């Protein structure tokens, strides 16, 4: 007779998967990260979800474009740390070179990935790993993903930057952002 197994009271807080070092692999990494974040209670459209998915997309794209060694995959690991209030993202590839942030030309199509990661993540860095290559990691702060109210007193400019780990909102082309005023 088998003994029933007790289920863990907390859901899994990690996700790890290997992907082919192709554009499809990078896309699949982004999509599965988005699904996992939704499973963890950070649905599409919330700051935590959208920030972490963008960081995953940039790091996976870098692994495919710059960290690719023919015949080798890359891996994605996500870890939810409720105590520290972060989602840790790790992308490992087998290329020995470390990523170097560069200044992109104003009309350039490339060179902004690590700048975005730096702007969105609370912390990020590069570590070695067992075997060839490196792991590029980033930690994105989890935020209360409910509706927010930001009222600016009349006569004050709304020019303050959001805290690190929160995305910077950008108005749609042709729209002007006007602060709310008390009537």
Q: What is the CATH number of the domain that holds 113?
A: 3.30.565.10
Among 11-25, 74-88, 97-111, 117-131, the minimum mean pLDDT is found in: 97-111
Position 167 in a domain? no
Q: Does 159 fall in a domain?
A: no
Compute the distance between CA of residue 136 and CA of residue 67 in angstroms, rounded to an integer.
Answer: 11
Buried b (16+ CB within 10 A) or exposed e, 155-170: eeeeeeeeeebbeeee
pTM across the whole model: 0.71
Q: What is the pLDDT of residues 133-157, one digit of tens each?
A: 999 999 999 987 554 333 334 443 4
State how far the Cα of 55 lies from the Cα of 77, in Å rounded to an integer: 12
Residue 71 resides in a domain: yes
Alpha carbon distance 30, 36 (integer Å): 10
**157 assigned to some structural domain:** no
Under 8 Å CB-to-CB from 69, ≥6 apart: which residues? 21, 93, 94, 95, 132, 133
Q: What's the token pair of residue 41?
A: 């209670």
Residue pLDDT, tens place only, 3-62: 555 554 555 599 999 999 999 999 999 999 999 999 999 999 999 999 999 999 999 999
Can you give the residue range of the structural domain that contains 25?
Answer: 14-141
- Establish if 151 belongs to a structural domain: no
Q: For residue 119, give both structure tokens.
A: 């702007």
Structure tokens at 76: 């994605």
When divided into structural domains, the chain yields a total of 1
Asked if residue 40 is part of any domain, the answer here is yes
């Amino acid at each position: 007779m088998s003994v029933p197994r007790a289920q863990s009271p907390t859901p899994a807080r990690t996700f790890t998967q290997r992907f082919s070092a192709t554009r499809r692999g990078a896309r699949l990494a982004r999509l599965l990260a988005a699904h996992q974040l939704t499973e963890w209670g950070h649905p599409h459209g919330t700051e935590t979800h959208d920030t972490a998915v963008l960081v995953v997309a940039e790091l996976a794209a870098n692994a495919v474009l710059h960290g690719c060694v023919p015949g080798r995959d890359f891996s994605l690991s996500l870890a939810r740390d409720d105590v520290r209030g972060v989602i840790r993202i790790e992308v490992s590839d087998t290329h020995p070179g470390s990523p170097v942030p560069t200044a992109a030309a104003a009309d350039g199509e490339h060179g902004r990935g690590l700048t975005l990661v730096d702007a969105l993540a609370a912390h990020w860095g590069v570590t070695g790993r067992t075997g060839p290559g490196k792991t590029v990691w980033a930690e994105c702060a989890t935020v209360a993903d409910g509706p927010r109210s930001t009222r600016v007193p009349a006569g004050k400019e709304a020019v303050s930057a959001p805290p690190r780990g929160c995305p910077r909102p950008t108005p749609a082309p042709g729209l002007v952002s006007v602060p709310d005023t008390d009537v």
